[in-house]
Amino acid sequence: MPISGPVVHRQLIDAYNNAQARLEQARAPMFSNDDRENLQDRRGEALVTLAEYYLPQLSREAILSTWPDVRSQLAHVLRRKESKSLDLHNQLDEANRRRHQFESELISLNTDRDRALERMQEIADEVETELQKDPDFVKLADRAALAEAALERAEGNLQEVDQDAARKLPAFERSDLFQYLRKCQFGTPQYARRGVTRRIDRWLARYIGFREAKQSYDFLKKTPEQMREIIAQDREAFDVVMEELEKHRDRVARRLGLPDMVLAIKEIERHRDANLKQLERSGKTTQVIESELIEIESLKGPYYTEAIQVFRKMLEQMDTGELDRRAQQTPDLTDDQIVARLAGVDSEFDKLKRAATQRQKTILHTQQMMEALGSLIGRFRALQFDSSRSQFVGTLNVTELLYQAENEEDVEAIWEAIRSAQRWGPTTTDTLTNVATHPMTQVLLNAMAHAAGSALASHARRAGERHQSSWNHRQRH
């Protein structure tokens, strides 16, 4: 059973929202500030104890006096980071709220458009039925079909004559003898030569068969233009008939409300296009905010880099390896035990760092998947696949494909699967959604084709197409 476009559209939106939820979950701290502060306190205590052991002449108060300044700096960096993160999360919440609002509006607009198209189809059918029952319209449709058939034949004949002239005229133009006799107007009342010249011209004319050649030349030169004039007159008469047909159509269409429905659909399409632009801007805003959040949480981000600089200044003279080597040089085991405590804390810090690095990779990968999915949804909407007139083969399982997707290439493969599985519905699309044909024109074409006899149906449809093409050409020029 086919799957409707809105169903697939909703599946894609849900997948995007789920990916965003996973991104938020991945951003959540794996370790609390208390965990980090506890490790920092333990390391600070070990460093102070070690300092007391190695530097007995310095007081505990003197060493501890440097720690409040360092911790104050770190706390200041953390507060600024948390403030920025809170601000970005508020911006993200607002961007998501607006995006969800636009998505809801788009779904509503799609529903309104589909209903309007269905209603327009119903009215169009009523207009066509009424026109087919109008004897005057039927007669005019037959006349238009016959005129179109005659025009097609005349245009075909003109094309043959043009080709014949293009093939044969150059030989006449290159013949010096023929051009000599033609320019002196031999064989016409205007020919004025006498005596020997006249006798020579007669002999020359018999020699080259001038009279027959002149008839062929004149035919090739004049006939195409004459045929064009006749065809132009026939087209004018044809347009008069088509204009009468349009008047019949317009009277019935206005009475039944077809033009109003066409305008209503155009208004819905205008709102939908504006909504899509807002959705696109909202999506870009979300991506920018997501990138900023990732940056401030990154190990290479500005806040983490600043914090590392603070720690580096504090620890640049307290290298654990150096402390370990100094401890091994003393017979007392006290300093070895203190350094071992310090090494254990460093090991736990390394675990935190590795976990944070892995989490950062997960965040970046999830964001890339979100951006790829957002691009897919944009293309889906741009092609109006989200319309109920759009259908997908029943074997398409977008949810399963999205669940299995691991990278951007997989998302692109999903898009290709969606495009391959997409079909347009058999009703409104066939009659009223041809982008090259206005609904009022399509109604006229259908009515003419059904009103004319079966032998003239194709000519009647082509007559409407010819008139529309001619009208479009006049509008452009």
Residues 6+ apart with CB under 8 A from 134: 248, 252
Encoded tokens for 160: 């043959």
Helix (H) or strand (E) holding 392: strand 390-392
Q: Is the pLDDT of residue 66 over 90?
A: no
Please give the residue that has the higher pLDDT: either 125 or 54. Answer: 125
Mean pLDDT across the stretch 115-141?
A: 90
How many angstroms separate the CA atoms of 171 and 175, rounded? 6
- Are residues 201 and 172 in contact, defined by beta-carbon separation less than 8 angstroms? no
How many angstroms separate the CA atoms of 137 and 403, rounded? 58
Give residue 10's domain range.
3-57+345-417
Banded pLDDT at 74 (limits 50, 70, 90): low
Q: Is the pLDDT of residue 93 over 60?
A: yes
Residue 379 falls within a domain, yes or no?
A: yes
- Chain segment 283-340, per-residue pLDDT in tens: 889 889 988 888 887 767 787 667 666 655 554 455 566 546 645 655 555 545 655 6
- Chain segment 369-380, per-residue pLDDT in tens: 888 888 888 888
Torsions phi, psi of 229, nearest 5? -65, -45
Helix (H, G, I), strand (E, B) or coil at 298: coil
Residue 88 falls within a domain, yes or no?
A: no
For position 430, what pLDDT does the model report?
40
- Are residues 143 and 451 in contact, defined by beta-carbon separation less than 8 angstroms? no
Encoded tokens for 332: 């007392």
Q: Is the pLDDT of residue 120 over 50?
A: yes
How many angstroms separate the CA atoms of 336 and 330, rounded? 9
Residue 221 falls within a domain, yes or no?
A: no
Q: How large is the angle between the packed helices 176-183 and 195-208, nearest 10 degrees?
A: 130
For position 370, what pLDDT does the model report?
81
What are the CA-CA distances from residue 382 to residues 202, 296, 378, 389 (Å)?
A: 76, 34, 6, 14
Please give the residue that has the higher pLDDT: either 361 or 410. Answer: 410
Helix (H, G, I), strand (E, B) or coil at 462: helix
Q: pTM here?
A: 0.57
Mean pLDDT across the stretch 70-90?
A: 77
Candidates 215, 137, 228, 159; CA nearest to 447 is 137
Q: Is the pLDDT of residue 422 over 50?
A: yes
Task: Report the domain count for the chain.
Answer: 1
Please give the residue that has the higher pLDDT: either 476 or 250. Answer: 250
Residue with tokens 């993200």: 92
E strands, 101-243, are none
How many angstroms separate the CA atoms of 160 and 224, rounded? 10
Torsions phi, psi of 58, nearest 5? -95, 140
How many angstroms separate the CA atoms of 360 and 298, rounded? 7
- Chain segment 163-203, per-residue pLDDT in tens: 988 888 899 888 988 888 888 888 888 888 888 888 888 89
Residue 134 falls within a domain, yes or no?
A: no
How many angstroms separate the CA atoms of 67 and 93, rounded? 38
- Chain segment 4-44, per-residue pLDDT in tens: 888 888 888 888 888 888 777 776 664 444 555 565 566 55
Candidates 117, 141, 120, 149; CA nearest to 249 is 141
For position 465, what pLDDT does the model report?
74
Residue 388 falls within a domain, yes or no?
A: yes
Residue 461 falls within a domain, yes or no?
A: no
Give 189's DSSP letter: T
Residue 391: strand pairing partners: 4, 423
